[in-house]
């Protein structure tokens, strides 16, 4: 490992100043992914600024029923917070399914939002990879791409976004709050993740040294009956082949409101807006769910080894919605 310098910040302003003032500095929270990437030579900071002592670990209720989650709150603690599991059960479920207990005890909410892709070509440090070394090419396009994205891809990158938690947050219009050298910002989470296009190395709109301080979940009655389902190669802790965050309101047999977001298929957490638009006002039936799922996946661009994800994602949407309705009837 290359030599690294270390600093510890005790307030947000100092943390931001230490990192923004040095282009080779980086924040260090739980470190569950970052340390691995440094060891592999994928990330190469010269200095780490430890932010674990910052007062950003609370989970607070907002006026009107929303929730504010501190960026340094640990995944395990947040998942078991009663107000979250009651008002946003899909978010709680996504957190619990996202990693082993040991990792959840260390991983921070802000760090999970920014976790890097699990693409083997990105992480091996030597294969051509536009995300790691812009302009070198994408080895996954014609390589082993079973675990890669089918939505939001480009000829520059098909790396999959790996977070479970972020999928559920996208379904419910979370807002990412940051502090940087230029002040505070509130970024809608769907805008927080950028499609690869021709610049796959740019994953977020964050300036260097801009620190995530909180995640806000707005008041949403539909979220109280939500679900997160994860389909993977094994039922032990594993990254999703496909996942779904779903919520639905039905009145007189017709869909009054619906929220859908897919994981395991997109280069960013994928809000299934086409399926939502197709469903609202229509019948709350399995046939209608399947038709909407097909509309959402119509523009999928599978590669040689991951074409199965198209059908799996469609079935995941149907199962998620059916499971909510069946639970309501029981």
Residue located via tokens 């799996």: 312
The distance from CA 76 to its chain's CA centroid, rounded to whole angstroms, is 16
* Spatial contact of 305 and 199, defined as CB atoms under 8 Å apart: no
pLDDT at 330: 40
pLDDT at 327: 83
Nearest CA to 31 among 18, 16, 13, 50?
50
| The Cα angle at residue 220 between residues 294 and 97, in degrees rounded to 5 | 65
pLDDT at 43: 87
pLDDT at 103: 82
The 10s digit of each residue's pLDDT in 269-316 is 999 999 999 999 999 999 999 999 999 999 999 999 999 999 999 999
What is the edge-to-edge ordering of all strands in the sheet holding 270-271? 226-231, 242-251, 254-263, 270-271
pLDDT at 259: 98
Q: How many residues does the chain have?
A: 330
- Which residues touch 252 (CB under 8 Å, ≥6 apart)? none
- Which residues touch 143 (CB under 8 Å, ≥6 apart)? 121
pLDDT at 61: 95
> Which residues sit opposite 48 in a β-bridge?
6, 26
List, for the chain, all residue ranges whose pLDDT scores fall below the cut of 50.
330
């Amino acid at each position: 490992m290359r030599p690294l310098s270390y600093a510890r910040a005790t307030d947000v302003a100092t943390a931001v100043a230490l990192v923004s003032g040095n282009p080779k500095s980086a924040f260090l929270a739980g470190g569950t992914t970052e340390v691995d990437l440094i060891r592999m030579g994928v990330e190469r900071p010269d200095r780490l600024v430890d932010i674990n002592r910052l007062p950003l670990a609370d989970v607070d209720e907002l006026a009107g029923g929303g929730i504010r989650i501190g960026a340094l709150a640990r995944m395990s603690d947040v998942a078991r917070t009663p107000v979250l599991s009651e008002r946003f059960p899909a978010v709680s479920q996504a957190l619990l399914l996202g990693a082993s207990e040991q990792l959840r005890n260390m991983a921070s909410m802000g760090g999970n939002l920014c976790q890097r892709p699990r693409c083997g070509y990105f992480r091996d440090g030597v294969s051509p990879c536009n995300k790691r070394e812009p302009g070198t090419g994408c080895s996954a396009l014609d390589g082993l791409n079973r675990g890669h994205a089918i939505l939001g891809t480009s000829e520059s990158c098909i790396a999959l976004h790996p977070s479970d938690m972020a999928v559920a947050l996208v379904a419910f219009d979370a807002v990412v709050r940051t502090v940087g050298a230029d002040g505070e910002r509130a970024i809608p989470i769907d805008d927080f993740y950028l499609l690869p296009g021709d610049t796959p190395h740019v994953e977020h709109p964050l300036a260097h040294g801009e620190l995530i301080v909180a995640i806000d979940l707005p008041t949403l009655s539909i979220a109280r009956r939500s679900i997160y389902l994860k389909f993977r190669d094994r039922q032990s802790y594993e990254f999703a082949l496909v996942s779904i965050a779903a919520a639905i309101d039905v009145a007189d047999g017709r869909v009054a409101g619906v929220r859908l977001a897919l994981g395991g298929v997109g280069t960013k957490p994928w809000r299934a807006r086409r399926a939502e638009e197709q469903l609202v006002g229509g019948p709350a039936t399995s046939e209608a769910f399947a038709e909407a799922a097909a509309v959402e996946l119509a523009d999928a661009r599978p590669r040689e080894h991951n074409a199965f994800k198209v059908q799996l994602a469609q079935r995941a949407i149907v199962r998620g919605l059916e499971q909510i309705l069946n639970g309501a009837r029981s």
